[in-house]
Chain A
């Protein structure tokens, strides 16, 4: 059971608030990764406010609840905002993002004890392995809850991802729902230019996964895909969602380019972004 269980309209309001948090967080320290964060906002808001069975009174072992792992750790701003706003820690702590002595490190970490984070990420390609291991531990513990993991598309260039993909199918790890943030962008350009990913559906199907596909920025389309994914678990195969998103979604001048992967807005750009991210009752930290 999700502790919030919000309606689609409520999820949209929350997503808009989370996007405000993202641009304000990266602006405040003039660093961080707004593009991917904005693109994955709807997915994370859907998980934490509607889809996942989770407990904001954080317990590292996570027994008896769904788990989420962020493999592409550079989109920490969106995760931190969603964790704070779903009750893992005070929203005001978002103001410490990337600052000295903060629990909100540039990339997610457990070292400082931030509730909601179960493993460090940032060096890419490791999250799927960790999530598969956590899923197998759930099976050993006879815990029927699910494990979610989000990866970037550029991240699929890391070989370890495919080691984990092969393993999960071989060992029939069918209590995991992986999601690829297919925004088609990475630091040096589009994924087509840098390292074409080819036919990902065919690749994952060939590896023995159940593959779902959908839009990650329209909640009306995303929620049924997430529901379908749940229905596909427990059938002997791992499940993956190829989630099409737009990097920078919600802020027009950040969309459609890899240039906002790891660049913060200046004062003027922040104002412009916030004007586009309207919330009925804004509650900025």
Chain B
């Protein structure tokens, strides 16, 4: 099992803020919109340096999505910022009609996704957003795993002409991916090559998968670990190639098991190469108040849950 050294833990939302600031300096068409959460989204640096290209919308997310769609018509590349719940569920029809169906080049940037938002509780912890967004035609769905990858993704999506849902979170997590990485939309990242099981993880669960990989190695299980930062379009080729070798797969995500990464992987496998699969995801439930670590444990999203899923799925191998 490979080592993934890191010098510090950082939040993925700060990766977004850093990426947006850098983009502001290199791409004059990039504009930022925020619905009264500028500090939480780490958009304040962009706001300060480019006040003429930053638009405070107030607590009016539906309007923000429409404004962003309109701004693309003059050639702007709008990045909207609010919590994941208010970025998706609250404004689904606005995204559907004015952005996705209209093919608009809007980047919907969503922080505080999943249960790791913590103490605010279920009203703010969305676990259905990946599903909602991936079902929209034309929409690209990205859930990077750490600060560096979120920064790289934020910069990369400006070059992609079309709507993007970029999902990130609140807590600090190990910042282990390279600072100089080239972010390729739709391209899986092979973290560790293995032979016994494929672990496909996204977002905060990528680090948990690495921790699980070490535990599994001690048990003599050689896990192949893939970081799927792009859920749509899914890198089917990478997944199929891996399961052809390992014969089983565990998917891991901070999202409802219904409609998330796991279902996308299952669909790919059902169509091409039916393979035993276990899900590490929330089980059709809302979250609740608590610390991020407590919630990850209660809702079954830890490295130990991944290890248990791996053991179950290996037992199912033919």
Contact = CB atoms under 8 A, between A and B. Distances in A.
Q: Do A and B come from one complex?
A: yes
Interface in A92-135: 109-111, 118-123, 125-135
Interface stretch (A55-63, A191-199, A210-218, A242-250): A55-63
Interface in A160-208: 160, 163-164, 166-167, 170-171
A147 to B, nearest CB: 8
B194 interface: no
Contacts of A167: 57-58, 60, 63, 67
Contacts of B65: 129
B187 interface: no
Nearest to B28: A140
Contacts of A128: 66
Contact of B70 (A129, A141, A171): A129
A114 B278 CA distance: 46
Interface in B5-50: 31
A137 B60 CA distance: 19
Contact of A121 (B60, B73, B97): B97
**Most A CB within 10 A of own CB, among B74, B76, B78:** B74
A122 B62 CA distance: 15
Given A60-B73, A62-B73, A133-B71, A160 B31 contact: no
A46 interface: no
A143 interface: yes
**Most B CB within 10 A of own CB, among A134, A135, A170:** A134
Interface in B72-103: 72-76, 78, 93-94, 96-98, 101-103
A206 to B, nearest CB: 17
A160 B74 contact: no
B66 A61 contact: no
Given A119-B102, A122-B97, A123-B97, A130 B75 contact: no
A131 B98 CA distance: 11
A78 interface: no
A109 B71 contact: no
Contact of A61 (B53, B75, B98): B75
A118 B55 contact: no
B52 interface: yes
Nearest to B67: A133
B54 to A, nearest CB: 11
A166 B71 CA distance: 18
B66 A135 contact: no
Contacts of B101: 109-111, 120
B62 A166 contact: no
B63 A164 contact: yes
B68 interface: yes
B69 interface: yes
A92 B47 CA distance: 50
A10 B55 CA distance: 43
B63 A137 contact: no
Interface residues of A, number: 40
Contact of B73 (A118, A120, A123): A118
A134 B53 CA distance: 14
Nearest to A167: B63
Contact of A133 (B68, B96, B103): B68
A163 B188 CA distance: 40
A44 B298 CA distance: 59
B104 interface: yes
Given A129-B67, A160-B62, A166-B58, A110 B74 contact: no
Given A119-B98, A129-B67, A167-B63, A134 B58 contact: no
A136 interface: yes
A186 B170 CA distance: 45
B94 A160 contact: yes
Contact of A132 (B31, B70, B102, B103): B70
Contacts of B53: 140
A74 interface: no
A119 B163 CA distance: 14
Contacts of A171: 55
A136 B75 contact: no
A170 B58 CA distance: 10
B70 A130 contact: yes
A276 B71 CA distance: 43
**Most B CB within 10 A of own CB, among A128, A164, A166, A170:** A164
Contacts of A137: 70-76
21 contacts: A119-B70, A123-B93, A126-B98, A129-B63, A129-B65, A130-B66, A130-B70, A130-B73, A132-B70, A133-B67, A133-B68, A133-B70, A134-B73, A136-B71, A137-B74, A140-B31, A140-B53, A141-B74, A160-B63, A166-B60, A167-B60
Interface of B: 31, 52-53, 55, 57-58, 60, 62-76, 78, 93-94, 96-98, 101-104
Q: Which 4 A-B pairs have the closest CB atoms?
A: A129-B66, A133-B70, A137-B74, A133-B67
Given A121-B97, A129-B62, 14 more contacts: A67-B73, A110-B102, A119-B98, A119-B104, A120-B102, A130-B73, A134-B71, A136-B71, A137-B75, A140-B52, A140-B53, A141-B74, A166-B58, A167-B60
